[in-house]
Amino acid sequence: MRIRSLRAVLFALVVLIMSSVSFGQVRISVSFGPPALPIYEQPLCPGDGYIWTPGYWAWNDDDGDYYWVPGTWVLAPEIGFFWTPPYWTWNDGAFVFYDGYWGPHVGFYGGINYGFGYFGEGFEGGRWDNGHFFYNRSVTNVNVTIVHNVYNTTVINRTENRVSYNGGNGGVNARPTPQDQAVARERHLPPAATQMQHMQAARGNPELRASASHGKPPFAATARPGAFTGREAVPARQAGAPYNPPANRGPAQPRTENGSHPAPVYHPKDLPPVERPTPPNTGNAKTDQKYQQQQQKLQQKQDQERQKLQQQQDKEHQRLAQQNANEARKQQTEQKHQQQTQQLQQRHVQQQQQMQQRHAPPSRPEPKPPKGK
């Protein structure tokens, strides 16, 4: 697996001290993509001046796994500042992570549809006016008995895409505009201390790991940073798409007695069977039957691709034996086989996600707070 990252503690320290740096720099890159964004409700805004920061998938190098950082309401560090969410993008053979940041305008965040005003470009959830933040009640959950600075502008969200990364196979196709590039050159602030503490708490919670939650975290959003229990913690309604982590990723894989990870999987024959989604029950028997047939067809195709790659790799092993190849050449071949197997598994997971998204039932509209008197 290709990973170029700073450890989480160093990462947190760097983010906290580099307020003068241009945020959005690359911090981490991973060889397989994050799960789809889960579907969840937005908790009530706790008060004036809080800005919604949507949930996202982060990477834990120690566990070799993604984990969910719940969406939460955060006080803006300065009047007039907005939050630009972090995002993943496919670049030069790996998934690369870009930090979120605070600034006077919302910048590029990969075209990812995080919902609640972050629909892939800009922010429709509110605006600053004379030093006060006004909330758009059509896309944010605000109780007008607590927060009085509100307005109502209808926003048409034309996509229900739950894909959590930009570019690559199945990713969102979006590129920074000239305006986004100008925003990137503005003065930015890093995530606030409460956000960093929120992220570290999520990182340390095993329930939020993708391999444990299968893309459906037990709490997907909180009313305040770090409030992972009680009424302020909102569970995910459902995963955005089925998630099957690649082999030997995350805590589900055992470690040896000295605490190290087991040897990586190099060949398709060593991969675990892909977990298939449960049969749908939309109430339309014809639609459910069609979906099952498509699932069976996809499974057969993926099984054939596994067998074909295994046969190809077996032939290469035979040639190496016939040629009495040295250890360096054998190691090079095995590294190539490992990369081929990882790419195959990643492609199969993405195919499952795309099929699930095509057949997923439409999301319920986001709940709106009661109207004021």
How do residues 314-338 score in pLDDT, each as one tens digit?
A: 898 889 888 888 877 777 787 788 7
Output the pLDDT for position 128.
97
Domain check: are 201 and 277 in the same one? no
Rounded Cα gap, residues 306 and 235, in angstroms:
36
Domain check: are 228 and 352 in the same one? no
Q: What are phi and psi of 119, to 5 degrees?
A: -100, 25
Rounded Cα gap, residues 198 and 18, in angstroms:
19
Question: Model-level pTM?
Answer: 0.63
In Å, how far from its chain's centre is CA 212? 15
Last residue of a domain, one of 187, 216, 238: 238
Residue 259 counted as domain residue? no
Q: Is the pLDDT of residue 48 over 60?
A: yes
Nearest to 67 by CA among 266, 183, 208, 189: 208
Average pLDDT over residues 244-273: 54
Residue 29 counted as domain residue? yes
Residue 370 counted as domain residue? no
Q: Is the pLDDT of residue 285 over 60?
A: yes
Last residue of a domain, one of 222, 238, 254: 238
Domain check: are 205 and 62 in the same one? yes
Residue 365 counted as domain residue? no
Domain check: are 284 and 197 in the same one? no
Residue 132 counted as domain residue? yes
46 confidence band (pLDDT: 50, 70, 90): very high
User: For 149, which DSSP code?
Assistant: -
Residue 182 counted as domain residue? yes
Domain check: are 228 and 294 in the same one? no
* 73-126 residue pLDDT tens: 999 999 999 999 999 998 878 888 998 999 999 999 999 999 999 999 999 999
Domain that holds residue 314: 268-359
Domain check: are 230 and 275 in the same one? no
Rounded Cα gap, residues 61 and 9, in angstroms:
11
* 18-31 residue pLDDT tens: 333 344 545 577 88
Spell out where the chain has E strands. Answer: 26-30, 39-40, 50-53, 56-60, 65-69, 71-75, 82-84, 87-91, 94-98, 101-103, 113-115, 118-119, 126-129, 132-136, 150-151, 165-166, 221-222, 233-234, 236-238
The one-letter amino acid at 30: V
Residue 369 counted as domain residue? no
Rounded Cα gap, residues 343 and 246, in angstroms:
10
Output the pLDDT for position 5.
42
The tally of domains found in the chain comes to 2
